């Protein structure tokens, strides 16, 4: 076992915190069965208690079996440690998408700490794909509760360096697994109300509704935003001001001449002397803006996976420039952009405070 993993396991066993690379974003991990370790997560992040944490689990060895029944049994066995009622749908999704960027909300098992679930009778479980996360989970031998490794309300970290910026002291041991491949947080699907609502997506991510539809069969999935779900699900990522840079972030529609002209007026009147500008196309703004007040221009590719991978690092970089405002062209239409649209919308609402 590499020294870094061994040290991390020691820290976790002693009730400490480890920043763990995953394929989505870095997580701030602690032993999911240790109340005082869990409390450290909340105090370090500045996260209000009552916000539930995702439990990360190792991939069971037999889940790789070609025999579907053997694989399902392996997932059932490990999921039963966390959930009192593992539905066939949960096993189908685990088989299809784990390890990977999908979190399932399940009825919690009795032993799961209420400190982890935010006092709820449900638990979020994810089997991450990143090899360092898997290595750590296997050597640790238990579940790791881990929110994104950022201070509450701020941008999720996608490199080890970002984590060190968030937690500059020595309270967190940072495992460096390189930049995260997906770049935005996992899809969260609620499987606790299957009978009445089907599978409900609470937070969009790289695993899309269509992908879940395909493996569960049509009409199983309901969009959490539009579903009549009764009481609102408790997802802190669903607070509108989340994932936010400190600099004001304004989304504009390049096809909407009025909104472009409003930006130009502000820049030309020198209300905004120093701006950053992120866009996909050479549009009206490009023709008119000139470069005099643009401290930084970024042209993004029309490729959703690449934009997701880079988004949070870009927002951090632009935030550090301390410009007056970030103008960001709205994302293209299409399902593959929805998860990024969700994060960017929240970033815009929470920005500038």
CA–CA gap between residue 307 and residue 311 (Å, rounded): 6
Geometric angle at alpha carbon 259, from 256 and 263, rounded to 5°: 135
Binding mask 247-276 for ligand TXA (x = CB under 6 A): ------------------------------
* Candidates 45-53, 64-72, 305-313, 340-348; binding stretch for ligand TXA (CB under 6 A): 45-53
Is 148 a binder of Mg ion (CB under 5 A)? yes
The item of Mg ion, ligand TXA, none sharing an interface with residue 33, based on CB under 5 to 8 Å by kind, is none
Nearest distance from C-beta of residue 11 to ligand TXA, angstroms: 17
Residues 19, 93, 207, 235: which binds ligand TXA (CB under 6 A)?
235
Q: Is 27 in the site for ligand TXA (CB under 6 A)?
A: yes
Task: Rank residues 104 and 276 by Cβ distance to Mg ion and give the closer one.
Answer: 104
Binding residues among 138-197 for ligand TXA as defined by CB under 6 A: 146-148, 185-186, 188
Does residue 120 belong to the site contacting ligand TXA (CB under 6 A)?
yes
Specify the DSSP element, H or E, that contains 54.
Answer: strand 54-56
CA atoms within 13 A on the CB side of 40: 23
Alpha-carbon gap, residue 94 to 90, rounded angstroms: 6
Strand order in the sheet with 187-190: 172-174, 17-20, 27-31, 144-145, 54-56, 122-126, 102-107, 187-190, 199-203, 221-223
Binding mask 52-91 for ligand TXA (x = CB under 6 A): xxx-------------------------------------
Tell me if residue 252 falls in helix, strand or coil.
strand
DSSP 63-100: GG-SSHHHHHHHHHHHHHTTBS---HHHHHHHHHH-SS
In whole angstroms, how close is the CB of 190 to ligand TXA at the nearest point?
7
Number of residues that bind ligand TXA (CB under 6 A): 28
Interaction site with Mg ion (CB under 5 A)? 148
């Amino acid at each position: 076992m590499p020294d870094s993993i061994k040290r991390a396991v020691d820290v976790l066993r002693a009730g400490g915190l480890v920043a763990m690379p995953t394929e989505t974003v870095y997580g701030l991990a602690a032993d999911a069965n240790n109340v005082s370790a869990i409390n450290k997560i909340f105090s370090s992040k500045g996260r209000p208690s009552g916000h539930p944490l995702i439990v990360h689990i190792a991939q069971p060895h037999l889940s790789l079996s070609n025999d579907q029944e053997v694989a399902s049994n392996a997932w059932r066995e490990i999921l039963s440690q966390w959930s009192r009622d593992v539905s066939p749908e949960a096993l189908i999704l685990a088989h299809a998408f784990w390890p990977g960027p999908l979190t399932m909300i399940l009825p919690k098992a009795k032993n799961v700490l209420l400190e982890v679930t935010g006092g709820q009778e449900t638990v979020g479980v994810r089997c991450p794909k990143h090899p360092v996360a898997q290595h750590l989970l296997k050597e640790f031998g238990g579940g790791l509760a881990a929110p994104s490794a950022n201070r509450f309300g701020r941008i999720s970290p996608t490199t080890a360096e970002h984590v060190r910026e968030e937690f500059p002291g020595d309270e967190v041991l940072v495992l460096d697994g390189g930049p995260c491949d997906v770049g935005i947080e996992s899809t969260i699907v609620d499987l606790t109300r299957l009978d009445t609502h089907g599978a409900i997506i609470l937070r969009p991510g790289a695993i899309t509704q269509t992908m879940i539809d395909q493996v569960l069969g049509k009409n199983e999935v309901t969009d959490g935003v539009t579903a009549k779900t009764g009481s609102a699900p408790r997802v802190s990522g669903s607070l509108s001001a989340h994932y936010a840079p400190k600099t004001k972030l304004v989304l504009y529609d390049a096809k909407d001449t009025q909104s472009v002209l409003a930006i130009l007026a502000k820049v030309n009147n020198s209300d905004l002397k120093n701006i950053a500008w992120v866009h996909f196309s050479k549009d009206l703004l490009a023709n008119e803006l000139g470069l005099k007040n643009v401290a930084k221009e970024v042209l993004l590719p029309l490729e959703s996976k690449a934009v997701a991978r880079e988004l949070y690092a870009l927002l951090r970089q632009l935030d550090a420039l301390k410009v007056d405002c970030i103008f960001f062209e709205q994302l293209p239409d299409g399902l593959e952009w929805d998860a990024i649209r969700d994060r960017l919308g929240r970033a815009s609402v929470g920005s500038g405070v």
